[in-house]
Amino acid sequence: MSSRDLASGHWPSADTCDGSDDVPDLHWTAGPSGTVSYALQLFDPDAPNDGFTHWMLVNEPADFRAPMPGTGVSGKNDFGHEGYEGPCPPKGSTHRYVFTVYAVDTTLRLNVLYDHADFQRTLKGHVLGQASLTATYSR
């Protein structure tokens, strides 16, 4: 997994709660043979209570190498909203944010607004491979 926006290892403020909160540029290489779809997650492992989910997206087509607007099925992030919400650590702190792409052997059956537990449970036994990218953001 790679990103021009995150190549320095630090998150640009434009793609956070301090900016337009857009998904940064993300790319991945083709998954292993048998990949039917991709699932993506943005997770903050430094947040209290075992971390914070900022984004989950499932059922990105196997021929995609980047997330595309209007595709896949978004889950409910830990802000309580559907879709992507970027880094927003408490002021005066630095957090790590981990993007993970999963190569999946099926189309995942999840309802709109699924939560992190649903996401993890549904992925179990279907992940053929995965890649991650970590970047920090400070406020």
The one-letter code for the residue type at 5 is D
For residue 64, count other CB atoms closer than 10 A to its CB.
15
Q: Cα–chain-centroid distance for residue 67?
A: 10
Spatial distance between the Cα atoms of 107 and 63, rounded to a whole number of angstroms: 13
pLDDT in tens, the chain (139 residues): 999 999 999 999 999 999 999 999 999 999 999 999 999 999 999 999 899 999 999 999 999 999 988 899 999 999 999 999 999 999 999 999 999 999 999 999 998 889 999 999 999 999 999 999 999 999 9
Supply the CATH number for residue 23's domain: 3.90.280.10
Domain extent for 82? 13-102+119-126
Could you tell me if residue 55 is inside a domain? yes
Place of tokens 């607007």: 69
With respect to residue 8, please indicate whether it lies within any of the assigned structural domains. no
What is the spatial distance between Cα 30 and Cα 52, in angstroms, rounded to a whole number? 28
Would 108 be classed as within a structural domain?
A: no
- 36, part of any domain: yes
Give the total number of structural domains in the chain.
Answer: 1
Tell whether 132 is covered by a domain.
no
Q: Strand 127-138's sheet: what is its strand order?
A: 73-74, 52-61, 37-44, 94-104, 127-138
